[in-house]
Chain A
Amino acid sequence: MGASRKADQGPPVGGKGRVSRRGFLAGTAAAAAAAIVPRHVLGGVYAPPSETLAVGIVGCGGQSGEDVRNYIGGAGGQYRVLAVCDVDTQRVARAVKSHGEGCQGYTDFRRLIEREDLDVVSVATPPHWHALITIAAMQAGKDVLCEKPMTKFIAEGRAVVNAARRYGRVFQIGTSGRFGAYKSSASRLIHKIMRSGLLKRCPGVWIQRGGFHIKPYCGRVGPKPEAVPPHLDWDMYCGPAPLAPYHPHRFGGSHRFYWDYEGQGLADFAQHYLDPIQWVWGKDDTSPVEVEAYAPPAHPDAAGMWGWVEMKYADGLTFVFDGGEWGKPYDRKAERRVELEDLDEESRNKVEAMPDPEPPRTFVEAVRTRRRSAGHEEAAHRAATVIHLANIAIRCGRKIRYDPVKEQIIGDDFANRLVNQPMRAPWHL
């Protein structure tokens, strides 16, 4: 909103808070709300399998609705989109039309969040909004599907985890690689070795070579400001980020190329890569302790080139992002798995006797059973933390040491300013 739009400002029909398609929509929205009884009104924690989930989607850009289709529809769940929201009125109108009768449009997510008839909120905005909207939805009793990357900075992730615990909500990040990883016996074995705690020093090295689209995802340096289109609420778009002068490249997909909203190709793709790998290597509940980047000095606004980032965990495991688009390739270590042969005989026997880990749980199943989904908030936060630490090392140009428990960079107050970034009022974690 920007401070200019008040938190208690009502949603006048056809005004700023709500997009009206004449009186038609208001009537059909009310009818739809009556037809779908939200879970929390039914009471209890059990939801019958035949239940239709009432969904609100915040963000009507390219990814809008993808998570709902994949993680509810794709898992055999039924849903109905009752509300959509975007800061661009043209997008809202298109989304309302595409979701059909009974879908109400909004331009202020708070008006969507305070609706009492929604079960699930799908967050498909640019990442600088992910955490705030996710937390707000949980504060209003909704379960959440959230696009990747989960957050824009590390402290946001912990705040999401805390909100999920406080309100007992289900969270699923918009990536699903661990479902595939679970099917691999080799991956399950690595997972068991790592989770057994029997490996004294982990020699494992995982390297993601390429796939970050670094050059195409570079932001423009010094773009000339332009007039804000009348259909766009630019202040609300910027939200917790600094109110930068408008330029179309900061909006509509290319937002990814600017530090204010995301963290370029590394942030856009790495959560996909990390989601299965972090599970395989048993790192869903911790973070690297040392991070070093090979990159030229970063621009303050526009994300740019980098070569590679090396991240070491406390047990010796090393993750590497090798961008392959700038400078010399990473050559410090070779990729290496862990194997049973890395253990002594007694430990090998113990690992072989371990049962397979629990299969990943779909979002639909998690909502029904009130248990964690596979891409739960802590796992997603830890994967996002890897991404943010990598970008902090790139932006600060120095090796950083990290405390995965306190979630603070050690001995570097200045680098820590990127771990928890103050937001523009009225927004706060």
Chain B
Amino acid sequence: MAASEKLQSLVDQMPEPDNRGTYGNMDKERIQKAVAEIHRGGRDAVVGLIEMLVEPGAGNDIKPRYALHVLAVHVCQLGDDKARAQFARTVASQLAGRPKGVQRYLIRQLQVAGAAEVVETLGQALLDPGLCEPAARALVSIGHGAADQLRGALPKVTGKCRLAVILGLAALADRNAAGAFKEALDDNDADIRIAGAWGLACLADAGSAGTLLKAADGRTGWERIQQTNACLVLAEKLLAAGNKAAATGIYTRLRDARTKPSEGYVRQAAERGLAAAT
């Protein structure tokens, strides 16, 4: 089914916004029946829906937008992973060459219903500054196979994209990104340095303790607060993993080094950590 009269008639069954522009009146059964019928239309129906989407503000695509999202949720409800993956592949195949606002919307639907079958497409999107950020979030949500894509993109991205990629790798606690996290600690951009510290904390690698403590000691204000938190989180993770010696080392250093009255709360946090470690 292409963008046919039948598809249009199904899309027309999506609710009309009320006079406030909201979906205040909705017929659940009518919507579900129409969306199930669209799903039965297979790839052509999905492509047809996507063809109806426009850049926000460039026209009225309220109904096909809603229908595509309800379809994304519908394929997750079916318990049929083949059908879900087919939907996700179709959406991913339609990403290229569309207006940025449409591309971002499609990526959001991949975040809803995509899995390993779409990570390569999302990995490509990381290289587009206009799509990098939503693509990184979608990859983190998907998880499976996402770290390879993020790591692969890292040498090719800059600025905001690089930050999004590093934070994505941190969220996934990607051990293969340890080098990148350490490198980030020396970046000129404070946000990158904070992201690198967070990544190292997430890895729970005892070997990073000295590096993190040194990084925290050398900063002031917001960055010092964030870097110190990374040290405490690393200590907690090491303690939880049974590495008491490494955790104790971090806590002791923080307790002894943070002598300013305004950092008394850091000393107290370190003392609580030491008490937990003994």
What is the interface of chain A, defined by CB distance below 8 A to chain B? Answer: 3-4, 6-8, 40-41, 43, 110-111, 113-114, 116, 136, 139-141, 166-168, 215, 218-225, 242-243, 245, 257, 295-300, 302, 304-305, 326-327, 395-398, 413-415, 417, 421-426, 428
Contacts and interface: CB of A to CB of B under 8 A. Distances in A.
B141 A417 contact: yes
B20 A141 contact: no
B122 to A, nearest CB: 12
22 contacts: A8-B221, A41-B262, A43-B261, A43-B264, A141-B263, A141-B266, A166-B232, A168-B268, A219-B22, A220-B20, A220-B21, A220-B22, A221-B22, A224-B57, A296-B28, A297-B70, A297-B73, A299-B66, A300-B65, A397-B77, A425-B167, A428-B170
A215 B233 CA distance: 43
Contacts of A220: 17, 20-22
Contacts of A424: 133, 137, 164
Given A221-B17, A222-B65, A302 B112 contact: no
Given A3-B164, A221-B22, 6 more contacts: A141-B263, A297-B28, A300-B66, A396-B73, A425-B195, A426-B191
B213 interface: no
Contact of A299 (B23, B77, B109): B23
Contact of B21 (A41, A221, A396, A422): A221
A321 B70 CA distance: 23
A41 B198 contact: no
Given A3-B191, A168-B272, A305 B23 contact: yes
Contacts of A168: 265, 268-269, 272
B269 A167 contact: yes
Given A41-B262, A221-B22, A8 B190 contact: yes
A428 B167 contact: yes
Contacts, number: 181
B189 A6 contact: yes
A8 B224 CA distance: 10
A414 B113 contact: yes
A426 B170 contact: no
A256 B223 CA distance: 31
Interface residues on B, range: 35 or more
B31 A8 contact: no
A308 to B, nearest CB: 13
Nearest to B77: A398
Given A4-B160, A218-B20, A222-B65, A296 B261 contact: no
Given A242-B134, A327-B28, A414-B112, A425 B61 contact: no
| Interface of chain A, main secondary structure | loop
B99 interface: no
B222 A8 contact: yes
A414 B22 CA distance: 26
Contacts of B262: 40-41, 116, 141
Contact of B264 (A40, A304, A413, A425): A40
Interface string B156-174: 0001100110011011000
Nearest to B142: A417
B22 A296 contact: no
Interface in B235-278: 236, 261-266, 268-269, 272
Contacts of A219: 22
Interface in B22-38: 22-28, 31-32, 35
B140 interface: yes
B62 interface: yes
A397 B76 CA distance: 10
B60 interface: yes
B59 to A, nearest CB: 10
Contacts of B191: 3, 6-7, 425-426
Contacts of A243: 133
Nearest to B109: A300
Contacts of B133: 243, 424-425
Interface in B143-158: 143
Contacts of A215: 22, 24
Contact of A3 (B21, B62, B77, B163): B163
B57 A245 contact: yes
B222 A428 contact: no
B163 A305 contact: no
A225 B56 contact: yes
Contacts of A302: 22-23
Contact of A114 (B22, B134, B167, B221): B221
B228 to A, nearest CB: 7
B108 A296 contact: no
Interface string B46-66: 000000000011001110011
B203 to A, nearest CB: 14
Nearest to A300: B69
Q: Which among A43, A136, A219, A414 has the highest number of chain B CB atoms within 10 Å?
A: A414
